[in-house]
Amino acid sequence: METRLKTVRTVYSLRRALELYRKAGERIALVPTMGALHRGHTALMREARRRARRVVVSIFVNPTQFAPHEDFASYPRDFQTDIKALREAKVDLVWAPPVEVMYPDGFATRIAPEGAAKAGLEDSFRPHFFGGVATVVAKLFTQVSPDFALFGQKDYQQLRVVTQMAKDLDLPLKVIGVPTVREADGLALSSRNAYLSTAERAVAPLLHRVLEECATRINSGENIERVLNVARIEIDLAGFTLDYLEARHAVTLAPIGSPSESPIRLLVAARLGKTRLIDNIAV
């Protein structure tokens, strides 16, 4: 078993560890996470390892991206289990700052992303979310200065927002999107799947199934809005509370008028009991 894994909790010790890598001319890849690691996260680490000699994983449950009524307090946290997964994935460095290191007293600066962050998808239901994500990711990028940063396509709007932010701020790194890792029945892996009851877990894969059906029908030339309307009813009847099911331009996330406006991405968010699930696929 790999034992080199080092955990740092202050910006000073992070910089000291990174300096050694840079002095050796080694490339660095960063995988930002909120912990409660699963195979989706380890897929990002594998891709990171493919691209860079050194892999840094951050574990930080970021309070600024949760609204007061959301699950910040109850979000799953299991550092010891995470460390085991990180060792097995041969990660070099864990950046696990306490909240007061990330946001010291007097912290007063926020990034306010627009464009994809105002697409009317996640932002309509979690208005504070992308401001919080962009701010913490900008901090992670400047703290670590990685050559590569790996994000999951599972959080597709987030991937677009972070990619645009890195470009707009001239940050010298490449943001890479990694395909969604799924359970055998199609359910996208998520730390929040732990909230699902047995009955809800049995229903949850319907979301991905419906996305696949929609993609097939749109590809065969059916009217997009009609296809989506039928799918919205199907999701509703299965017991979900639908937040949105949309066909959007895969890069800008702007609404799609006709199938010629490709590439198209289908994005869905729905609540099942207390659990909010999101998913998306390419058409």
* Cβ atoms 93, 6 nearer than 8 A: yes
Least separation, in Å, of the C-beta of 24 and ligand AMP? 27
Extract the tokens encoding 224. Answer: 């997009």
Residue 157 or 247: the one with the smaller Cβ distance to ligand AMP is 157
Q: Which residues form the interface with ligand AMP (CB under 6 A)?
A: 33-34, 40-41, 43-44, 151-152, 154-155, 178, 180-181, 188-191
Core vs surface per residue 3-16: b (16+ CB within 10 A) or e: eebeebeebeebee
Residue 96 or 181: the one with the smaller Cβ distance to ligand AMP is 181
Least separation, in Å, of the C-beta of 66 and ligand AMP? 11
Q: Is 41 a catalytic residue?
A: yes
Core vs surface per residue 40-75: b (16+ CB within 10 A) or e: bbbbbbbbbbebbebbbbbbbbbebbbeeeeeeeeb
Residue 162 or 218: the one with the smaller Cβ distance to ligand AMP is 162
| Catalytic site residue from 38, 41, 208, 249 | 41
Least separation, in Å, of the C-beta of 229 and ligand AMP? 28
Residue 146 or 152: the one with the smaller Cβ distance to ligand AMP is 152
Least separation, in Å, of the C-beta of 189 and ligand AMP? 4
What ranges make up the beta strands (E) of the chain? 6-8, 28-33, 54-59, 93-95, 148-152, 174-178, 241-249, 264-272, 275-282
Could you list the active site residues?
41
